[in-house]
């Protein structure tokens, strides 16, 4: 989940307290037209990036003009577009892929649905062939507003993917529980600070975490992809896990073993190398009272492992990024 339900219960009052809809927030009651939702995801993803926001939001169950919470009948789990579920149809109708998440929230006895959208990362998000943007409280085609387009591309240049938010609205203790910070200090050859404040200051200085506007902390994409204890804790990054595939033969037609890493790249790299080395043959030599093991093939210290051994033509090991 991008946000827990408890976090959403704090976010909803902040959104409804806004004087009007913004470039990154929209309210609906029961309008669940799939094409409308796809256009809004495109517009909110692009406009949240322009506005420098960590997320865009669309909330069902709130009146647009009054921001009064009235509830909704919308159920994203059962909504469909043709023969597909709504979420599946939205996922392949938006390009490039944008991470979004529907959550049903109870405010007292009133049922709301919150759609949280990760901002566009490196190019405008399009529905079909058209990119949309929010102009005030209305949704418009991006090509009709060249100034917005220039601001959007400038935002991509100024804020790279690594500075984006992988998980936000956290307590400082949550940041430390999600990140393998001892490995961070060990790899840099630095002593571990004596208190939590010193650890957080170091993570912030290197762009791995930071404070959010308002309250709470965030973990950046860079921090999560490098130091996550579990990448599955970060929905937008789970597909970027490091993967090692063992093939039978050299043509990659038949896979004999596949291992998907669960940690961030830096936190899990040593374990990855140990895993790969376990497949290589080795020679054991006993001299006096000591036994030493010498691998026939030394594994390169690089995230990409793609080596063929001339003396064992049936083996090939190939490690690659699962995404990007």
pLDDT in tens, 97-135: 899 999 999 999 999 999 999 999 889 999 999 999 999
pLDDT number for residue 304: 40
Q: Are 174 and 215 in contact (CB under 8 A)?
A: no
Residues 258, 304: one domain? Answer: yes
Residues of the domain holding 88: 5-159
* Residues 75, 262: Cα–Cα separation, whole Å: 32
Query: What mean pLDDT do residues 307-320 have?
Result: 38
Tokens of 140: 């418009």
Name the DSSP letter for residue 226: H
**Which of these ranges, 168-172, 231-235, 244-248, 292-296, has the smallest mean pLDDT?**
292-296
Which residues, in sequence order, are bridge partners of residue 242?
Answer: 321
**Which of these, 279, 238, 237, lies nearest to 258 by C-alpha position?**
279
What lies within 8 Å, CB to CB, of 266 at 6+ separation is 183, 184, 187, 226, 227
Q: What is the pLDDT of residue 160?
A: 67
Angle at 301 between CA 281 and CA 310, to 5 degrees: 40
Residue 47 is predicted with a pLDDT of: 97
Residue 275 has pLDDT above 70, yes or no: yes
Tell me: do 180 and 299 sit in the same domain: no
**pLDDT for 291:** 65
| Least-confidence region, from 74-78, 260-264, 265-269, 313-317 | 313-317
The domain boundary, picked from 236, 255, 270, lies at 236
- The pLDDT tens digits of the residues spanning 195-252 come to 999 999 999 999 999 988 666 899 999 999 999 999 988 887 888 888 888 888 777 7
What per-residue confidence (pLDDT) applies to 289? 57
Separation CA 299–CA 321 (nearest Å): 17
As a three-state string, the secondary structure of 283-324 is EEEEECCEEEEEECCCCCCCCCCEEECCCCCCEEEEEEECCC
Q: Both 13 and 127 in a single domain?
A: yes
Q: What percent of the chain has pLDDT over 90?
A: 56
Same domain, 177 and 95: no
Higher-pLDDT residue of 35 and 256 is 35
Q: What is the CATH number of the domain that holds 44?
A: 3.30.950.30
- Residue 159, pLDDT score: 65
Residues 227, 249 within the same domain: no
- Quick one: pLDDT band at residue 165, thresholds 50, 70, 90? confident
Q: What is the DSSP letter of 120?
A: P
Element (H, E) at 282: strand 282-287
Instruction: Please tell me whether residues 172 and 39 are part of one structural domain.
Output: no
Do 105 and 199 belong together in one domain? no
Mean pLDDT of the chain: 85
The pLDDT-based confidence of 164 (bands split at 50, 70, 90) is confident
Q: What is the mean pLDDT of residues 177-181?
A: 95
For 182, half-sphere exposure in the C-beta direction (CA atoms, 13 angstrom radius) is: 2
The answer to whether the CB of 168 falls within 8 A of the CB of 118 is no
Same domain, 39 and 124: yes
pLDDT band at residue 281 under the 50/70/90 scheme:
confident
Same domain, 108 and 9: yes
């Amino acid at each position: 989940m991008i946000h827990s339900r408890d976090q959403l219960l704090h976010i909803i009052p902040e959104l409804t307290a806004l004087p009007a809809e913004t470039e990154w927030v929209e309210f609906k009651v029961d309008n669940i037209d799939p094409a409308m939702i796809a256009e809004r995801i495109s517009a909110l993803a692009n406009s949240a990036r322009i506005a420098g926001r960590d997320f865009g939001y669309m909330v069902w169950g709130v009146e647009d003009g009054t921001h009064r919470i009235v509830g909704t009948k919308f159920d994203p789990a059962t909504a469909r577009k043709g023969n597909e579920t709504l979420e599946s149809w939205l996922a392949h109708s938006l390009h490039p892929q944008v991470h979004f998440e529907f959550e049903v929230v109870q405010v007292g006895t009133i049922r709301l649905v919150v759609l949280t959208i990760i901002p566009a990362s490196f190019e405008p998000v399009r529905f079909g062939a058209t990119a949309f943007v929010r102009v005030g409280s209305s949704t418009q085609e991006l090509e009709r507003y060249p100034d917005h387009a220039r601001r959007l591309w400038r935002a991509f240049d100024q804020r790279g993917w690594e500075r984006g938010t992988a998980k936000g609205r956290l307590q400082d203790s949550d940041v430390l529980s999600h990140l393998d910070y001892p490995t961070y200090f060990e790899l840099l050859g630095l002593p571990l600070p004596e208190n939590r404040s010193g650890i957080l200051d170091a993570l912030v200085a290197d762009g791995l975490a930071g404070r959010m506007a308002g309250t709470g902390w965030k973990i950046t994409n860079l921090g999560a992809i490098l130091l996550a204890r579990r990448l599955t804790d970060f929905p937008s990054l789970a597909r970027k896990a490091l993967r090692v595939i063992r093939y039978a033969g050299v043509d990659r037609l038949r896979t004999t073993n596949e291992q998907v890493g669960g940690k961030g790249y830096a936190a899990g790299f040593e374990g990855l190398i140990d895993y790969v080395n376990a497949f290589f043959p080795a020679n054991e030599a006993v001299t006096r009272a000591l036994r030493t093991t010498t691998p026939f093939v030394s594994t390169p210290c690089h995230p990409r492992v793609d080596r063929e051994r001339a003396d064992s033509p049936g083996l090939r090991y190939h490690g690659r990024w699962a995404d990007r």
